[in-house]
Amino acid sequence: MRWRGLNISTAAFDSRLKSAQKESAARDAVINPAAMNVRPVSPKRKTLAWLSLVLLGAAVASALALWGGDVRARFEITSWHRNAESLAMMLVGLAYVTCQFIQDQPREKTVKGTLLGAAFFLWGLEQFLPEGSLLTFIDSLIITFFVIDLGLVIIERRNAGKGARSDSHPEAGS
């Protein structure tokens, strides 16, 4: 049999085809959640996934509108700028918080992601608030969320680095 310029016997072709079909079936078993005994995605998680994407799309649209307004105003601060930046921060914060509950992940990651998303949401929200004690409270809360979030990341990376160093250089751990 001549196939694409190759001279392959029918038996060799059949053998290669069967081998390719077996490999394909094995790949499908890995890719197909039903074949892996993975629990199906719940309707709640599907809804959260779509909501997260819609919120992200709205945040991107707000950011693009922010740039458009800024170019028109020659980058002078306007009420349009304040509203668009606030809306973009609030929407991306909500999208990120929503995203934390789509997949199973360690509780620490969910907490870190929720704190970060909440900080962005509150940062956007505070732009609409008048000066006063509520604004000061929210400012302090945002700073606390950022410090906790980045502090956990720093500790996590430091501990990961210690493990890698002590594995490759046993004397470094002592």
pLDDT digits (tens, 9 = 90+) for 110-119: 999 999 999 9
| Better-predicted residue by pLDDT, 6 or 46 | 46
11 and 71: one domain?
no
Q: Which string of b and e fits 137-147 if b means at least 16 CB within 10 Å?
A: eeeeebeebee
121 and 165: one domain?
yes
Express each pLDDT in 118-141 by its tens digit: 999 999 999 999 999 999 999 999
161 and 92: one domain?
yes
| Better-predicted residue by pLDDT, 96 or 12 | 96
Q: Which of 100, 135, 137, 134 is nearest to 115 (CA)?
A: 100
3-state class of 2 per DSSP?
Answer: strand
> How many Å apart are CA 143 and CA 120, to the nearest integer?
11
Q: What is the pLDDT of residue 3?
A: 45
Q: What percent of the chain has pLDDT over 90?
A: 63
Above 50 in pLDDT, residue 172? no
18 and 72: one domain?
no
DSSP annotation of 132 reads S
Interacting residues of 90 by C-beta distance below 8 A, sequence separation 6+: 120, 121, 124, 125
> What would the mean pLDDT of 65-92 be, rounded to a whole number?
95
Q: What is the pLDDT of residue 2?
A: 47
71 and 148: one domain?
yes
pTM higher than 0.85 for the full model?
no
Quick one: pLDDT band at residue 61, thresholds 50, 70, 90? very high
Task: List the domain range (segments joined by +) for residue 22.
Answer: 2-31
22 and 63: one domain?
no
Residue in this structure with the two tokens 């509950």, named with its chain if needed: 101
The mean pLDDT value of the chain amounts to 83
Q: What is the pLDDT of residue 38?
A: 54
Per the CB < 8 A criterion, the answer to whether 94 and 83 are in contact is no
Above 70 in pLDDT, residue 51? yes
> What would the mean pLDDT of 145-171 be, rounded to a whole number?
78
- Which pair of tokens denotes residue 95? 């999208």
> How many Å apart are CA 67 and CA 153, to the nearest integer?
31
Q: What is the pLDDT of residue 69?
A: 95
